[in-house]
Structure 1
């Protein structure tokens, strides 16, 4: 899949037709003393292509286009083998991605913007935990990512079990001075039972007495025990609903802090903070919904138990009317609820109400840990025994870095005993480790070299790579070597390489036909969209 061109129904939009293999989108620098050229449309062009093809989130540039142009309709024309395909995006309507999530993921490392050169492996656009990107990267490197995915999923479940066990243990009746508390309650129970035994039940019929003792009181005791537990749960859920899980913040507040400190607050930072805010809001809403549903169920259970207790107490009162001893009914009514409450608390103290759940969760967690170790071994085996594609990627990466930066460097996958993977780049000079890859320009070239190496071995669709601003601020020699290396490889391995650049010190080796569009702010018509906005 190669990009033939992009056009628009916006009248002054400058249509761009890309070369089959190598293209430069050029920005003309401002006059000396005014700094580098920005807002000419170089990055906007790349964002439009990314957004139209893969449905990435609306950036500030995309939002501005929607707001400032009456007919924001764009067409991207693709070469797909011997056929062409036109992707039309009408920004006045709801837009869908042109390609599936799988295709979008396969191009994750083939479009880099100006803030994507800090890490070869984890781009700014990659969010979430390791599960969201390491398996994808492993697949692009030629490995079977399934054992790693299953390991992450099991680890997530183990964390859920750990959290459950922690909550269950803290919610159980495990407290300091437990023996002392039990002794106190047992003494209180003995006092209550002795007091009840002293009441005059002599006039009550034997059958009624048996039913009162063995049936009604037992049912009341059970109902009150359940009601006690439910009210404890209700209290815990209500408290949880009063607490928010995440800090409340807005990107606007963070932006104001940056402004007060005179620190540049970039568009990507805004996008990231908006995504974080959206994530926090969504998780808080999901949590509140789940807790509210739980509270509703507990309230219904409490209501049912309270109704049952009312009926049972009324029935007991009917039986007590048979007692003839003066004052016995009133005294029994006072003592019986106290005895039921004492029995309930004592029962809960003598047994951990969460014990069986904790034991079950612990057993299942231990089983999962065994499976985790098995999968960790499978991940390690996969890295060690099926690395033919990865070795090819490493070779291409090493050669590009040597050609452009004269640096001996290597891609490394480190694995530990738990099966976790770390992706690193290392460099050396004269057979000794060096810190050369920590330099800003070396890191940018390293990111580009990694992408190109991936593309060379993952090029079944004769696809494209787009690098925005990759050699900005580089010296003339590096620019020359880089352009030559990219152009030569794009032709040799039949992929399409598109880069944006500014005109400062552009090497003489760049041919006129390599430049597919020149953007400048000398006049509005030389801008991408025909005017500033």
Structure 2
């Protein structure tokens, strides 16, 4: 598929553009001296790519120039004529005011004018339906299951799309929206890559649900066997209390509570008091030790005392005493550190024991109160309250069991998804290795064409590479190589980055010449920043690829044309000249907006 003609219902305001099958140059000429130093000239040469995208049924966007300045363009209707693989033609009609209603017509002859036509094969089509029909007519079977618009970004390169060879401005969203289609175009198994992203999404979703369930559990027990055991015991207590209430007999309860006081509460209270006594004793010993640890011997005072008594106090002896004191002081500081830590631990233990003793004493008092209670109705009321508490505990445990069951199901699902995810990743790695090693693979073809284009322009080889990143996804890179075959940073500059983009687009088209695939590419400002020799080299590549059957539409400013090359373009190359001498020189013969 190639471009044949672009026109509108207002030819006096938008000049019709007839495209040749080879090189098509949109040339801007800066004729006024005061404009020669300006970076932008508002001629409209860069708008042409956006207009082509509009005619290829891009989504309506309020920021798009036709809709942003709708008062200027609301009367415009645009027609794009395309040449198909079988040498037949189709024309797409799209208006500004009713941009979501599309007309499509097939015809056998080129350069038709359907501005007044009332007969269309497909008329007033809803937007999405129109894209489906256009996709079926173009029949880019090697793109399936993707749509024709998925490849257009690489065929209509604006200035914003030269920042990255692979990730276009329209692909600023998640990688899963563009990496599979790019991998498919390069000959990799895109089904695996799509499945990999799908499983990753499922895995993230399952793991997020797992976290929510864990939060519901609140960090409590996750052993369902333990939950079932607690439920069994609680249910037994409920049955026992219900039986007592039904019989109105509390004798066995009295026995049980008496046994609990003797066998449990009193014993635990005694044990804790004994432990408390031991801890208090240790606490006081540590506090006394921390107070008493002082070194009372002072070598300087001893030396003065010996001197007054007329007795020799050797200097070496004083030095030994000083070292001994320093040593003891270091040991004391280290010992104090551990004593302080132990004291803090003892105080925390005493605090916990006091709290536990308080709870046990309250329970003992309540139990004794129950045993001393003579009013049977008060006992009935107390056991009823205990029954309510037990049932609430059972309800909580059952809810915990429900969450744990859900958690177990989720974890099983996560294990299953993770296993599938890892298996798919292994398959992707195998496919990547196979396409890299196979000299006749589509990827190898693109690689060779890509490097050859760059070498023909700047006499340096370039490497197109695809690898697996740490997340297990494909990463695409394009690097200019030095003489030793090592990657350099030359591609970091805007000029060479643009060259790599152009080389990539052309390499893709050439590798797919055997397929029913687009045969055109649009590059805005293709020669900007290149030196004159490289411009000539690039133009030779462009002409060579035109001979291969690839239609190229490029935009240039006359200042980009080498000064010493009067025949850089011939008359047949230039399909539209724009200039700065009034509105008639612009793409749209309208005031600047």
Q: Judge same fold: TM > 0.5, yes or no.
A: yes
Equivalent residues in 2 for 1:387-426 (5 A)?
387=438, 388-416=441-469, 419-426=472-479
Q: Which residue number in structure 2 is paired with residue 61 of structure 1?
A: 65
Pair 1:470-2:531 in alignment? no
C-alpha displacement at 1:451, in angstroms? 0.7
Asked whether the 8 Å contact 1:7–1:15 carries over to 2, the reply is: yes
Determine the C-alpha separation between the residues in 2 that align with 1:346 and 1:483.
82
State the SS of the aligned residue for 1:6.
strand
State the SS of the aligned residue for 1:109.
helix
Asked whether the 8 Å contact 2:66–2:96 carries over to 1, the reply is: no
C-alpha displacement at 1:461, in angstroms? 3.7
Q: Which residue number in structure 2 is paired with residue 343 of structure 1?
A: 391
State the SS of the aligned residue for 1:433.
coil
Asked whether the 8 Å contact 1:27–1:37 carries over to 2, the reply is: no
C-alpha displacement at 1:159, in angstroms? 0.8
Pair 1:363-2:422 in alignment? no
Q: Which has the larger radius of gyration?
A: 2
Determine the C-alpha separation between the residues in 1 that align with 2:457 and 2:41.
26
State the SS of the aligned residue for 1:20.
coil
- 1:198–1:3 Cα change, 3 Å: closer
State the SS of the aligned residue for 1:48.
helix
C-alpha displacement at 1:349, in angstroms? 4.7
C-alpha displacement at 1:9, in angstroms? 1.3
Pair 1:441-2:498 in alignment? no
Asked whether the 8 Å contact 2:73–2:96 carries over to 1, the reply is: no
C-alpha displacement at 1:486, in angstroms? 1.2
TM-score (norm 2): 0.62
- 1:200–1:444 Cα change, 3 Å: same
C-alpha displacement at 1:65, in angstroms? 5.0
Q: Which residue number in structure 1 is paired with residue 558 of structure 2?
A: 503
Asked whether the 8 Å contact 1:37–1:502 carries over to 2, the reply is: no
Q: Which residue number in structure 2 is paired with residue 293 of structure 1?
A: none
- 1:472–1:108 Cα change, 3 Å: same
Q: Which residue number in structure 2 is paired with residue 253 of structure 1?
A: none
- 1:501–1:337 Cα change, 3 Å: farther
Asked whether the 8 Å contact 2:183–2:190 carries over to 1, the reply is: yes
Equivalent residue for 1:86, pick from 83, 91, 111: 91
Pair 1:158-2:219 in alignment? no
- 1:201–1:421 Cα change, 3 Å: same
Determine the C-alpha separation between the residues in 2 that align with 1:173 and 1:412.
48
Asked whether the 8 Å contact 1:411–1:426 carries over to 2, the reply is: yes
Equivalent residues in 2 for 1:238-317 (5 A)?
none
Determine the C-alpha separation between the residues in 2 that align with 1:411 and 1:337.
77
C-alpha displacement at 1:194, in angstroms? 7.6
Question: After superposition, what is the alpha-carbon deviation per residue over 1:65-84, rounded to whole angstroms, capped at 9, x for unaligned?
Answer: 53313421011111113112
Q: How many residues align?
A: 402
Pair 1:457-2:511 in alignment? yes
Question: After superposition, what is the alpha-carbon deviation per residue over 1:454-489, rounded to whole angstroms, capped at 9, x for unaligned?
Answer: 011123345210111232233322222222211221
- 1:394–1:198 Cα change, 3 Å: closer
- 1:121–1:57 Cα change, 3 Å: farther
- Unaligned 5+ segments in structure 1 are 203-325
Q: Which residue number in structure 2 is paired with residue 50 of structure 1?
A: 53
Asked whether the 8 Å contact 1:138–1:145 carries over to 2, the reply is: yes
Equivalent residues in 2 for 1:205-244 (5 A)?
none
Q: Which residue number in structure 2 is paired with residue 71 of structure 1?
A: 75
- 1:45–1:418 Cα change, 3 Å: closer
- 1:198–1:153 Cα change, 3 Å: closer
Determine the C-alpha separation between the residues in 1 that align with 2:148 and 2:182.
14
C-alpha displacement at 1:198, in angstroms? 7.9
Determine the C-alpha separation between the residues in 2 that align with 1:426 and 1:69.
43
Determine the C-alpha separation between the residues in 1 that align with 2:147 and 2:512.
14
C-alpha displacement at 1:157, in angstroms? 0.7
State the SS of the aligned residue for 2:171.
coil
C-alpha displacement at 1:345, in angstroms? 3.9
Question: After superposition, what is the alpha-carbon deviation per residue over 1:265-298, rounded to whole angstroms, capped at 9, x for unaligned?
Answer: xxxxxxxxxxxxxxxxxxxxxxxxxxxxxxxxxx
Q: Which residue number in structure 2 is paired with residue 3 of structure 1?
A: 3
